[in-house]
Amino acid sequence: MQLLDIHTHKAATNLEVVSIQSFSLTAPLPVISAHQPISVGLHPWYATLQNLEEQLAVLTQIAQRPQVKMIGECGLDRLKGEPLANQLVILEKQLALAEKLNKPLILHCVRCFDELMAIKKRLNVQVPMVIHGFNKNAELGQQLLDKGFWLSFGAAILKPAASASQLLSVTDRFFLETDEGGADIATLYEAASNLKKSSLDELKALIFANWKKIGLI
């Protein structure tokens, strides 16, 4: 069974790994193989209200390709990008697109979890919402899980004391990701199986089942 990397910015090089490479359409999409699974969205660091209409038109078109498995990363960031009010408008458009295309979302969220929970509720978003790179406290993580979000963990789980590690050991609703790099996905699988006290095969089966649950496989 292959290793599954739900969010990376790097091109796939290993046939043992299925990865979803993420592109922000705030820049032109490079040439990529039609077989490479990708996600496309407007990243909150780079998206602007001023360019929204134009970029959303491109996103809407590209997002329909079968190789686009998820919409994003999109989301909210209190520390970077446009004022939050603008980010909310930009996010709402992408949530609506994901709903229309019935594709799950990969979300970036920095210090805006209340806003994210509120917008999910207000718009009654039905497609799966995966928060990537989660490493906040376990209580917040549990709250997000209770509200139907999914979490994706990255290199933070290499530290057993990290919040992500604590949360991973008590939930099965998660994915693994390499994001910008640092650790490879095989290392993350190994760390996760140690934290869960499960075999590598059991962990592979669990993450495969989660990919299936949100319609990625």
Q: Which residues bind Zn ion (CB under 5 A)?
A: 179
- Of 142 and 184, the one with the shorter C-beta distance to Zn ion is 184
CB of residue 7 to Zn ion, shortest distance in Å: 6
Sign of CA dihedral 52, 54, 56, 58: negative
- Of 39 and 50, the one with the shorter C-beta distance to Zn ion is 39
Residue 90: CB atoms within 10 Å: 25
- Token reading at 133: 């790179």
- Of 5 and 179, the one with the shorter C-beta distance to Zn ion is 179
- Of 75 and 128, the one with the shorter C-beta distance to Zn ion is 75
Contact 210, 202 (CB under 8 A): no
Q: In whole angstroms, what is the distance from residue 56 CA to residue 25 CA?
A: 9
Q: In whole angstroms, what is the distance from residue 91 CA to residue 49 CA?
A: 11
CB of residue 109 to Zn ion, shortest distance in Å: 12
CB of residue 36 to Zn ion, shortest distance in Å: 16
CB of residue 157 to Zn ion, shortest distance in Å: 16
- Token reading at 115: 């806003």
CB of residue 27 to Zn ion, shortest distance in Å: 14
- Of 82 and 179, the one with the shorter C-beta distance to Zn ion is 179
At 4 the three-state DSSP class reads: strand
- Token reading at 149: 């979000």
Residue 217: CB atoms within 10 Å: 14
Q: Kindly report the backbone phi and psi dihedral angles of residue 171, in degrees, each rounded to the nearest multiple of 5, phi listed first.
A: -130, 155
Contact 136, 105 (CB under 8 A): no
CB of residue 205 to Zn ion, shortest distance in Å: 26
Determine how β-strand 17-24 pairs with β-strand 174-176. unpaired
| Closest residue to Zn ion: CB criterion | 179
